[in-house]
Amino acid sequence: MDDFRDHINNLREDFTKGTLNEDGVNKDPALQFELWLQQAVESKINEVQAVHLSSVSLDGKPSSRIVYLREFQNNNYLFYTNYNSKKAQQLFKNPNAAFTFFWPDLERQVRMEGIVVKASAAQSDSYFNQRPYESKIGAWASEQSHLLASREELEKKVEELKKQYTPETIKRPECWGGLILKVNYYEFWQGRKSRLHDRICYELKAGSWKISRLAP
């Protein structure tokens, strides 16, 4: 075990795949993110849409998990969840949240901060109707973040719901839908040699984006 700990302690990676400069980024951070996301897709990075979501409870306890980015436009980033889940309940009470995308193959990271709001019922319905039947059943079956007595309890509920709902009749449960992170802060991180990374941030001030460089 000591050898393993030493191995972790001595892991080193130098970053050499790119640079990032204030003059080279788009003045609109949403367009800069879209460019980087497109490049990540073109690089065939697995789970490119996976994003680390952080929320905070009213008593100041942070909580983090991976969700999937599903839609984005004009600094609005949408993901879907059960509204009774831990993350949704935290966000309804304290809407401050943060996203972190990490694409190690490109030696890049994007951080976002903002306020979460609930998506419209029509928007949630539209996405739900596109989902595979099994995923729709899953949305009904899972009381996300709540205790289960066993795996069998969940599987039994799935089978019961399949008898109740057909692919033609199943509708979105009211407790499931979209949440939107409305971003007011971005940070684009490009790995550089010797840990002297490039960090360019955008802050929304008086309706305009201010671009700055941060120390690595």
Q: Which of 29, 96, 104 is nearest to 60 (CA)?
A: 96
For residue 195, indicate whether it is catalytic: yes
Of the listed 5, 12, 108, 195, which one is catalytic?
195
- Which contacts qualify for 120-125: CB closer than 8 Å, 24 or more apart? 121/177, 123/78, 123/177, 123/178, 124/80, 124/172, 124/176, 124/177, 124/178, 125/171, 125/172
* Token pair recorded at residue 66: 């991976």
Among all chains, which residue has been given the structure tokens 């407790």? 175
User: Three-state SS for 8?
Assistant: helix
- Please, which residues bridge with residue 73 across strands? 76
Tell me the catalytic residues: 195
